[in-house]
Structure 1
Amino acid sequence: MFAKPVSEIDVQALSEKLQSNEEFVLLDVREGWELERARIADKRLAHAPLSQLSAGEMPVLPRPARGQERSVYVICHHGVRSANVTRWLSAQGWRNVFSVRGGIDEYARKVDQSVGMY
């Protein structure tokens, strides 16, 4: 009846992760035009628009070998799409997957205004 709760990370905690040397994936599920307007510049960023995700396929996020899993932080504009993708990835057996609460909009407002807002 109700959707399963999603593991989340807030934008301040994400900012700390981005400043670390930790290996993880920041998965941006916004559309290409959204990425052009506001983006977090980081080598760990992977882009997979929600509109292109199909059943079980996510080429930018290959399934790691057991024991080599990295955390995946899923981000969108406000946190709705990222929560859905996080829920889907968890159902597919992914572990350590978190939705960025408030999305890029909250990140731009609270962490880094240079990211831009739309």
Structure 2
Amino acid sequence: MLDYEISATETAELMRNKQARLIDVREPWEFETAHIDGSMLIPMGDVPARAHQEFDPDEHLVILCHHGQRSLNVTVWLRNQGFENVQSLRGGIDAWSIQIDPTISRY
């Protein structure tokens, strides 16, 4: 089974090879402030109602938030729902903007 967390560098590699989908669980205002191109916004509170309709249990999903706590909570919840290929982006979009893409605003 995959680790619960994945680094920004590992996530960037998965994205380059189209091997995962990014799910952003922050609030819409946060997404508008800073987001990773290609990520899908599903606020944390909407995940329970949408997960089984919008996620493939076999798909590799990387969940992200601001610093990684909300995304880790969502990852644990999704794993408990049977989504085994889900990981949380360690450090969130903040880590991504520091390590991968400094053009993404930090807030």
Unaligned runs of at least 5 residues, structure 1: 1-5
Bigger Rg, structure 1 or 2: 1
- 1:29 and 2:31 correspond: no
Higher normalized helix content (fraction of residues): 2
Of 17, 40, 47, 1:20 maps to: 17
**In angstroms, what is the RMSD of aligned CA positions?**
1.9
Q: Could you tell me the TM-score, scaled by structure 2's length?
A: 0.88
Where does 1:70-81 land on structure 2 (aligned, <5 Å)? 70-81=59-70
Shift of 1:57: 1.5
Q: Distance in 2 between matches of 1:16 and 1:109?
A: 16
Unaligned runs of at least 5 residues, structure 2: none
Shift of 1:52: 3.1
- 1:35–1:92 distance in 2 versus 1, CA, 3 Å: same
Q: State how many pairs are aligned.
A: 105
What secondary structure, in the 3-state scheme, does the structure 2 residue paired with 1:58 have?
helix
Per-residue CA distance 1:48-106 (angstroms, 9 max, x = gap): 111334xx4215962437xxx11010000000000000000001111111000000001
Of 64, 67, 71, 1:82 maps to: 71
Query: Are the aligned partners of 2:25 and 2:42 in contact in 1 as well (CA < 8 Å)?
Result: yes
Report sequence identity in percent.
35
What secondary structure, in the 3-state scheme, does the structure 2 residue paired with 1:77 have?
coil
Query: Are the aligned partners of 2:6 and 2:90 in contact in 1 as well (CA < 8 Å)?
Result: yes
Of 48, 54, 64, 2:56 maps to: 64
Q: Distance in 2 between matches of 1:36 and 1:86?
A: 22
Match of 1:17, as an amino acid?
Answer: L
Query: Are the aligned partners of 2:64 and 2:71 in contact in 1 as well (CA < 8 Å)?
Result: yes
